[in-house]
Structure 1
Amino acid sequence: MSKKWQDIAQEKRQAVNSLLPEKWKTTKLIPPVSELPDVTNYAATFLSEKEREITAQYTASELVGKLARREYTAVQVVEAFCHRATIAHELVNCISEVLFSQAITRAAELDDYLRAHGKPVGPLHGLPISLKDQFRVKDAETSVGYVAWLGKKETDETESFLVKRLKELGAIVFVKTNVPTSLMAIETNNNIIGYTLNPYNRLLSSGGSSGGEASLLALRGSIIGLGSDIGASIRLPSAVSGLTGLKPSHGRLPYLGVANSMEGQETVPSVIGPLAHNVADLRFLFKSICQTQPWHDDPKVLPLPWRADEEEKGRESIKEGGLTFGVIKWDGVVMPHPPVQRAIQETISKLKAQGHEVIEWSPPAHQEAFEILWNTFAADGGTDIHATLSLSGEAPVPQLSASFGEVAGTLPIPTINDIWALQRRKYEYQTRYLAYWNSTATLTKPGRPVDALIAPAAPTASFLPGNGLYFGYTGVFNVLDFSVVVVPVTKVDKNRDPKVDGYVPAGDLDTLVWQQCMYFPNQTKDGASLLI
């Protein structure tokens, strides 16, 4: 008799916990969520002074520099992050694969190499890096939240191309992080590891689908990581956890050998991108990957090196009178909550104070982009997801069934002609949006189109588990295939962000999201915070 899917999931969950060293576990000391919702500073209380220094005081490039100068050993650095990651998992449930043993062994090899040769292996020598559980890593499983995909460890042959390149650059993969089943949800929950909480307020969501990655980083259990994004998956988790996150355009970083659901869907492609604590680290990792010239191996990667000349053009524009920004205060579908509105306004004010120009953005309706994106996600009627679930017999978690139904056949299956029409619609929308962007040259002081856009990452600072409803603010840029970076601006402040009375929602979805405004004063304790 074959095992029940529940038993398989439980065994994996126990296996993950068993690989966390007992000497680092703090389970019995962790206060209940209601007593300590914000745990962003809690993990540090269990670390040595040296571990706190290693995990919290440096950028990734600074840490690599200290490793190259032998101020720290790679073993010291990896063990410090493994310790902090262990505590992070106990606090917010963020890890799907524990690779500490392999990481420490590799760190010792790198230390030996540095002593013997007097130089580092590469630009990422000794840098610990965490990966969303979508990247295939030798000797680890890759479930993408599916019970059916457990039980098979990756090999040299199946390891993701980008993972191989990171290792060649000197990086040390030490952990993989939790995702929603199939990746197709903006909350991180599955039947194996469970729900990943928000470190700034454990009553709320970490977002998805890179929620495990963002939560680990927010707790300094990692210094830098990689996720993927098809509608919100890097940017939303980054936004609700106070991180920087980059969604590049398609074809910039290699996807070769990375696991996914609905493989073959390319109407709106998923992309790989970094998450970190600052923009400098995003640049550092992205530039390091570009130096490997991945387009020689992955035919979908554009032969486009890091362009220092474009950076210099931006600096020159600032010197010559500043940049021009378009601003999206709301997308006409869902109104942002008061703290998000304040974050946008504060950003506008600061940019203007520095001499930059900001104009209102009135593009083709974002509602159309949201419809295109959803129709893309539903283009097979949920067949791929339900077929994979059926391999083990597992039931979809609520975040998945809300979109794709409890069983196969809930959604209609479009014809190939419907999909072609959808792709034409996307192309036409992209064309109209680009024409609008170019037309802003008539509105700006320099007489050129705006240099960049400012927009909310989401209408809410976060939401209660089960209440993730709208990803239109991020999803529009997947349809357009624009590069987007998320940066933290401010924190929710109940005194500065009072509830707005008398707002008339624009529709049913706007009503549902607007009603979530009440969650912050009523459902969190004083002192709990969220970053925007």
Structure 2
Amino acid sequence: MNHGRGVPDWIGSIWRTIALLSIFQCVTCWQFLKSSPNVYQRPLSSENISWQEAAARKRLETYNKIPQQWILPEDVLEAAKSHRKITGSFIEALLDNETLKITSLDPVDILEHIRNRSFTSVQVTTAFCKRSAYGHQLNENLLEIFYDLALDNAKELDAYQASHNSTIGTLHGLPVTLKDQFHVKGVETTMGYVGWIGTFEGHKGTGKERIIESELVRELRSLGAVPIAKTTLAQALASGETSNNILGYTKNPVNQELSCGGSSGGEGAVQALRGSAVGFGTDIGGSVVVPSAFNGVYGFKPSVGRNAYRDAANAERGQTVVSSVVGILGPSLASLKLMFRALMSTEPWRYDHDIVPIPWYEELYEQSEDSEAVTKLSFGILESDGSVSPHPPIRRAMKIAAKVLEKEGHKTITWDPPSHAEGYDIHYGFMDAGGYNDSFTQLALSGEPPVREMMQDIGYRTKTPMPILEYFNLTIRLKDYRNRYADYWKSMGADAVIMPVAPHAAVLPGGNYYTYAYSSIIDALNYCSIVIPVTTADQRVDKFDGKYKPLNDIDKKNWQAYDPDIYDGAPAAVQVIGRRLEEQRLFRIARAVDEALRRHGKLFGA
């Protein structure tokens, strides 16, 4: 399909390309093994089965954990393939009244129903397990399913509430999902690696396979939350699209012609389908905020040292100058605040050495909501990073956000900080520093090849690690960049910054040219960010501008990939940026943005 506007010919046939991926992977597998002689290789298991068979067994094992009465008919699955959007009315039409009623509620309201006993924990857990099971069959977004353990947990919570006439904690009975980096007792963690099947992070015989639980999971359980499943992710956590050799490519359920993002794309898809009340992902370059924006849900990325990462799996874990953080995805800003505040109440710094001891002060939050000091705010507005310009739907979302804030009496200022291109270059330097030796070592455990999306982002072989003195100099360069950016922020007097999450509303499969750049800068600076959905792409409004003059080759590729027809209906979001460790203040400011959009969004075309 070519619309006569410079759109590449491969766009119209992209899914046929994906269908041929298995053939492509066989070739790349041979290339990978040949070109990585330094990687130690060993059999997948004592059976010495192929990685393809191991992955197929794992997929079937996961599918078989769905109760028979929740298996969708073949005609429904076929119908889903012909629908662009399977969120909202499509999946809701499949649900019974009780499941629909419960899963349509905000988490704050669900908890109130459980507290006043109009719902039991078993009812709520059953509803979300059922909806997530439907969502997985339609979208293939779960790597691990453990509904039986979840329902046993819910029964225990109901018994406790009945005998003590109180709940265990703030999140009593609330079903959650987690990216498959987090260990849950009795449940396997593969992180999308075929070679991790039947092991603990690739190692057999450690005795840890099914007994270790991540600190985040322990905290959630202490609050009464109920983990129900773990979500799929990008192979090696290394792509802005979600694909691995166990589940394959995960589409965007809001618009199946587009990507769900990565690396926490499975979690973004689950939240769009309302498969759990709230979900958890990780972010080192946009891996929470990008899937949140692409799937039309709210997302929160804190600074380093806020949410516990202890005893979670990771890739390239030795690189800690720019660290990965645990983020939250949910259906509302209130749901994100609820979860973050609850986690802070567990005093995670007592259990994870890397956590900064900053409690949540509710009194401060509530007082500052009404104080004169914050009635009018100042927002820096960055519409483009100067390297790749956003597509029309994102430009429109940015303008709507600015206009509703001005309507509320807030101040908007043009944001022209130290070069984002420089910040992106520094960030990429740290991501590339180890040469991806760890990631390719994990692939070699089974002999599986890198998937197409990983190859597009980092190649199909290891690289020479950065020399230590060069690494030191890059660290000095980062410190200088952070200080210059902080100085600029102070000089402008901004309370927060609003900018795109990415230069597009999701990407066409294989079109991940610049997905992370807008968001990776936030990780490089160690700032915090909240994603707020604004509008959806509209083919009648968001036209392709054939006269647009690209800034460079990447900008040209990004622009040529924009097709108003294909993008129609895709979520368009913005992110609100706060400074390091100012998460509580950011929630207060984001609330002002969210409420302004609710009050005035339609007036400006949202």
Aligned-partner residue type, residue 191 of structure 1:
N
1:92, 1:202 within 8 Å by CA — same for their partners in 2?
A: no
In structure 1, what is the equivalent of residue 11 of structure 2? none
Structure 1 residue 319 displacement after superposition: 6.4
- Aligned match of 1:361 in 408, 415, 429? 415
Deviations along 1:162-191, whole A, 9 cap, x unmatched?
Answer: 101111111110010000111111111000
In structure 1, what is the equivalent of residue 603 of structure 2? none
How far apart are the structure 2 equivalents of 1:119 and 1:502?
64
In structure 2, what is the equivalent of residue 429 of structure 1? 481
Which stretch of the first structure deviates more once superposed, 333-342 or 399-408?
399-408
Structure 1 residue 320 displacement after superposition: 6.2
In structure 2, what is the equivalent of residue 464 of structure 1? 508
Change (3 A) 1:27 1:196: farther
In structure 2, what is the equivalent of residue 249 of structure 1? 303
Aligned-partner residue type, residue 557 of structure 2:
L
Structure 1 residue 34 displacement after superposition: 5.7
Change (3 A) 1:357 1:6: same
1:43 aligns with 2:91: yes
How far apart are the structure 2 equivalents of 1:506 and 1:323?
33
Alignment partner of 2:539: what SS? coil
How far apart are the structure 1 equivalents of 2:288 and 2:394?
18
2:177, 2:229 within 8 Å by CA — same for their partners in 1?
A: yes
- Provide structure 1 residue ranges, at least 5 long, that are not aligned to the other structure: 441-448
Alignment partner of 1:245: what SS? strand
Deviations along 1:197-216, whole A, 9 cap, x unmatched?
Answer: 11111111000011111111
Aligned-partner residue type, residue 257 of structure 2:
L
2:199, 2:209 within 8 Å by CA — same for their partners in 1?
A: no
How far apart are the structure 2 equivalents of 1:61 and 1:316?
22
Deviations along 1:102-127, whole A, 9 cap, x unmatched?
Answer: 00111111111111111111111111
How far apart are the structure 1 equivalents of 2:501 and 2:142?
24
- Aligned match of 2:524 in 479, 485, 490? 479
2:154, 2:226 within 8 Å by CA — same for their partners in 1?
A: yes
How far apart are the structure 2 equivalents of 1:71 and 1:155?
38
In structure 2, what is the equivalent of residue 204 of structure 1? 258
Change (3 A) 1:313 1:481: farther
Structure 1 residue 258 displacement after superposition: 0.9
1:229, 1:271 within 8 Å by CA — same for their partners in 2?
A: yes
Structure 1 residue 316 displacement after superposition: 4.8
Where in structure 2 are the equivalents of 1:163-174 lying within 5 Å? 163-174=217-228
In structure 2, what is the equivalent of residue 14 of structure 1? 60
Which stretch of the first structure deviates more once superposed, 475-484 or 461-470?
461-470
Alignment partner of 1:204: what SS? coil
In structure 2, what is the equivalent of residue 352 of structure 1? 406
- Aligned match of 1:399 in 453, 468, 472? 453
How far apart are the structure 1 equivalents of 2:482 and 2:367?
25
Structure 1 residue 313 displacement after superposition: 6.7
Structure 1 residue 509 displacement after superposition: 1.1
1:335, 1:510 within 8 Å by CA — same for their partners in 2?
A: yes
Alignment partner of 1:489: what SS? strand
1:68 aligns with 2:112: no
Where in structure 2 are the equivalents of 1:314-353 lying within 5 Å? 314-316=368-370, 322-353=376-407
Alignment partner of 1:427: what SS? helix
In structure 1, what is the equivalent of residue 551 of structure 2? 506
Where in structure 2 are the equivalents of 1:182-331 lying within 5 Å? 182-308=236-362, 311-312=365-366, 314-316=368-370, 322-331=376-385
Change (3 A) 1:335 1:531: closer
Alignment partner of 1:254: what SS? coil
Alignment partner of 1:437: what SS? helix
In structure 1, what is the equivalent of residue 560 of structure 2? 515
How far apart are the structure 2 equivalents of 1:201 and 1:150?
31
Deviations along 1:350-384, whole A, 9 cap, x unmatched?
Answer: 00000000000010000011111111111011211
How far apart are the structure 2 equivalents of 1:352 and 1:179?
38
1:317, 1:323 within 8 Å by CA — same for their partners in 2?
A: no
Change (3 A) 1:144 1:496: same
1:143 aligns with 2:197: no
Aligned-partner residue type, residue 491 of structure 1:
T
Alignment partner of 1:429: what SS? helix
- Aligned match of 1:131 in 171, 175, 178? 178
Count how many residue pairs are aligned between Structure 1 and Structure 2. Answer: 517
Structure 1 residue 30 displacement after superposition: 2.4
Which stretch of the first structure deviates more once superposed, 220-229 or 20-29?
20-29
Structure 1 residue 152 displacement after superposition: 2.8
In structure 2, what is the equivalent of residue 443 of structure 1? none
Where in structure 2 are the equivalents of 1:374-453 lying within 5 Å? 374-408=428-462, 411-440=463-492, 449-453=493-497
- Aligned match of 2:542 in 491, 497, 505? 497
Which stretch of the first structure deviates more once superposed, 503-512 or 153-162?
153-162
Aligned-partner residue type, residue 357 of structure 1:
K
- Aligned match of 1:5 in 34, 51, 63? 51
Change (3 A) 1:161 1:34: closer
Deviations along 1:497-523, whole A, 9 cap, x unmatched?
Answer: 1111211111111111111112x42x4
C-alpha root-mean-square deviation of aligned residues, in Å? 1.6
In structure 2, what is the equivalent of residue 53 of structure 1? 101
Aligned-partner residue type, residue 73 of structure 1:
T
In structure 2, what is the equivalent of residue 445 of structure 1? none
1:326, 1:450 within 8 Å by CA — same for their partners in 2?
A: yes
In structure 1, what is the equivalent of residue 571 of structure 2? 530
In structure 1, what is the equivalent of residue 598 of structure 2? none
Structure 1 residue 321 displacement after superposition: 5.1
Alignment partner of 1:198: what SS? coil
How far apart are the structure 2 equivalents of 1:403 and 1:434?
30
2:55, 2:245 within 8 Å by CA — same for their partners in 1?
A: yes
Change (3 A) 1:517 1:317: farther
How far apart are the structure 2 equivalents of 1:137 and 1:171?
13
How far apart are the structure 2 equivalents of 1:531 and 1:98?
30
2:121, 2:158 within 8 Å by CA — same for their partners in 1?
A: yes
How far apart are the structure 2 equivalents of 1:358 and 1:324?
6
Structure 1 residue 305 displacement after superposition: 0.2
Aligned-partner residue type, residue 58 of structure 2:
K
Structure 1 residue 387 displacement after superposition: 1.3
Alignment partner of 2:162: what SS? helix
How far apart are the structure 1 equivalents of 2:80 and 2:156?
40
TM-score by length of 1: 0.94
2:268, 2:329 within 8 Å by CA — same for their partners in 1?
A: yes
Change (3 A) 1:139 1:34: closer
1:92, 1:199 within 8 Å by CA — same for their partners in 2?
A: yes
- Provide structure 2 residue ranges, at least 5 long, that are not aligned to the other structure: 1-46, 201-207, 574-606
Deviations along 1:258-313, whole A, 9 cap, x unmatched?
Answer: 11011121121000011100111101010000000010111110010013365357
Alignment partner of 1:199: what SS? coil
- Aligned match of 1:121 in 168, 172, 176? 168
Aligned-partner residue type, residue 53 of structure 1:
K
Deviations along 1:315-357, whole A, 9 cap, x unmatched?
Answer: 3566665100000000011100001000000110100000000
1:217, 1:224 within 8 Å by CA — same for their partners in 2?
A: yes
Alignment partner of 2:61: what SS? helix
